[in-house]
């Protein structure tokens, strides 16, 4: 029966329809996680995507598997790690037990990874934790303010373009939490430093941010 299930998943059924099926039969989440852990082929990526989609729609159904999702942060496979980053952020909405506190350091250490995509997934989803519990804002913002000192690599070499992309991501985060933050001055300073960014999209984000928030 399990082999038949795996073969079915290898056919990559419509992800939205399948996620809805899992929502109707949440015991399937455990089976999907088992496949992610044990399968060597690409079917594990489909399963990760399905779990992630369920976490977006119904985070409370995936929340009982919090520790298993958190283990993805240690995955040697980048796609599984990135999925874990996003799914954990989705689970914030259901984290009434405060379990994220136990993995906070590990999660935000990835913000300073030399791999930009890893760091960008953390930066792009960090606001979800603040939406759930504003008490996270101070410590998350502290990590975001360190990003200008970070270096991101492309093919083993420091990449100014990757750094520019990351600066855009943290400005997006600043915009979402600005009103409740006590780090407004520091946020504005970083935004001002990006006004002449060669990446036009980032420079525009900086201008828009400052127009909206400069005191």
pLDDT tens string 117-131? 999 999 999 999 999
Query: Are 93 and 112 found together in one domain?
Result: no
Q: What local confidence, expressed as pLDDT, does residue 214 receive?
A: 79
If asked whether residues 81 and 110 sit together in one domain, one would say no
pTM to 2 decimal places: 0.94
pLDDT for position 2:
65
Task: State the Cα–Cα distance between residues 172 and 169, nearest whole angstrom.
Answer: 5
Question: 180 and 89 share a domain?
Answer: no
Contact call for residues 152 and 111 (beta carbons, < 8 A):
no
Range of the structural domain that residue 26 is part of = 1-97
Statement to judge: residues 7 and 92 lie in one domain: yes
Task: Note whether 7 and 52 are same-domain residues.
Answer: yes
118 and 176 part of one domain = yes
Give CA–CA dist 123/29, Å, rounded: 27
Q: Report CA dihedral (204, 205, 207, 213) to the nearest 10 degrees.
A: 160
Question: Which of 35, 63, 97 is at the close of a domain?
Answer: 97
Do residues 212 and 130 both lie within one domain?
A: yes
User: CB-based burial of residue 156 (10 Å sphere; 0-12 exposed, 13-18 middle, 19+ buried)?
Assistant: exposed
Of 97, 128, 149, at which residue does a domain stop?
A: 97
Q: Which residues of the chain have pLDDT under 50?
A: none
Same domain, 1 and 52: yes
What are 138's two structure tokens? 């101070």
Whether residue 120 is found in the same domain as residue 93:
no
Q: Which residue has the tokens 């290898």?
A: 10
Number of compact structural domains in the chain: 2
CA angle centred on 194, ends 191 and 200, rounded to 5°: 125
Domain end residue (candidates: 64, 97, 130): 97
Residues 203 and 118 in one domain: yes
The Cα 214–Cα 113 span in angstroms is: 30
**Are residues 87 and 117 located together in one domain of the fold?**
no
Q: Are 114 and 158 spatial neighbours (Cβ–Cβ below 8 Å)?
A: no
Burial of 175 (0-12, 13-18, 19+ CB in 10 A): middle
């Amino acid at each position: 029966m399990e082999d038949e299930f795996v073969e079915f998943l290898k056919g990559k059924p419509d992800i939205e329809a399948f996620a809805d099926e899992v929502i109707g039969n949440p015991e399937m989440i455990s089976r999907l996680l088992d496949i992610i852990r044990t399968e060597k082929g690409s079917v594990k990526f489909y399963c990760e995507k399905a779990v992630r989609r369920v976490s977006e729609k119904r985070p409370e159904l995936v929340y009982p598997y919090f520790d298993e999702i958190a283990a993805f942060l240690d995955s040697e496979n980048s796609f599984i790690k990135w999925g874990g980053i996003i799914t954990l952020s989705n689970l914030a909405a259901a984290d009434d037990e405060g379990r994220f506190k136990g993995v906070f350091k590990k999660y935000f250490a990835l913000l300073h990874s030399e791999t930009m995509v890893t760091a960008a997934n953390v930066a792009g989803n960090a606001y979800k934790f603040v939406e759930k519990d504003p008490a996270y804002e101070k410590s998350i913002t502290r990590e975001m303010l360190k990003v200008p000192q970070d270096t991101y690599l492309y093919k083993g070499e420091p990449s100014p373009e990757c750094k520019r992309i990351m600066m855009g991501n943290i400005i997006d985060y600043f915009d979402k939490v600005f009103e409740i933050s006590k780090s407004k001055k520091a946020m504005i300073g970083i935004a001002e430093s990006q006004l002449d960014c060669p990446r036009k999209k980032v420079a525009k984000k900086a201008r828009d941010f400052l127009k909206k928030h400069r005191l």
